Amino acid sequence: MRLLFVCTGNICRSAAAHVFTEAWPTGHLGVEIEARSAGTHAPTGRPAHPFTAAALELRGLDAGSHVARRLSPADVDWADVVLTMTAQHREAVLTLDPRALRKTFTLREAAELCRGLPPHRLAAVPPSERGSALAGRLAAARGAHRVPDQDIDDPIDGPAQVHQRVVDDVAAALRTLLVGIARQVRPEAHETVRIDRLPPVPVPG
């Protein structure tokens, strides 16, 4: 399952989402996940913002290898699901590739939609097709139940505390999304799914 995270500069929000996703063991999810991140106006080659990197370090995560990348059509084409930090970023992705509508969501939108999907619908899908199948299910759910846009704020000009809050916001949305994915894939999922560096989250019934 290929997930692409998109924000503006790819040094704060999408960088944090990328680092988190790569750090979480996919054995908890029942599916292998590949992650990329990029920014609509990224300063190519820059490291993660030092306050964001420090907020990640508080969770035991190292953003030292992260370098910013500018979003390209090839990134969008690569992804099974594109997860943006704001509705404006979602529109930027669609301007780049209008065909990506069915697989592009804000991170919080995808998390909320995934939370409401009936469980175990991907268990019988071949692993190589689960990413596109998930995108299709999320798109169908969006058509039936519109989720209000809930942007994740840009912390770029804020103090360290703002970066910590935004990293927590990214982590919370990702946790909900990944627990939802686990419920889609693993019929044997227990009452809680534990993800390293985050508290256990009740799996919605």
Please determine, for residue 200, whether its predicted confidence score (pLDDT) is greater than 60. no
Please determine, for residue 192, whether its predicted confidence score (pLDDT) is greater than 50. no
Given a contact cutoff of 8 angstroms between Cβ atoms, the answer to whether 11 and 39 are in contact is yes
**Residue 113: CA count within 13 A, CB half-sphere:** 26
> In the prediction, which pLDDT does 27 show?
63
Confidence of residue 76 (pLDDT cuts 50, 70, 90): very high
Residue 184 belongs to domain with CATH number: 3.40.50.2300
How many folded domains does the chain comprise? Answer: 1
Q: List strand residue ranges (DSSP E) for 69-171, in order.
A: 81-84, 104-106
Percent of the chain at pLDDT above 90? 68
| CB neighbourhood size of 107 (10 A) | 31
Containing structural domain, residue 145: 2-202
Q: Which residue has the higher pLDDT, 47 or 185?
A: 47
| CB neighbourhood size of 197 (10 A) | 14
The answer for residues whose C-beta is within 8 angstroms of residue 26's C-beta and 6 or more apart is: 32, 33
Token code pair at residue 139: 């798109």
Please determine, for residue 201, whether its predicted confidence score (pLDDT) is greater than 50. no
Confidence of residue 26 (pLDDT cuts 50, 70, 90): low
**Residue 33: CA count within 13 A, CB half-sphere:** 27
Handedness of CA 50, 96, 175, 25 (dihedral sign): negative
Whether pTM exceeds 0.85: yes
- The pLDDT tens digits for 144-183 are 888 887 899 999 999 999 999 999 999 999 999 988 888 8
Distance CA 97, CA 92 (A): 9
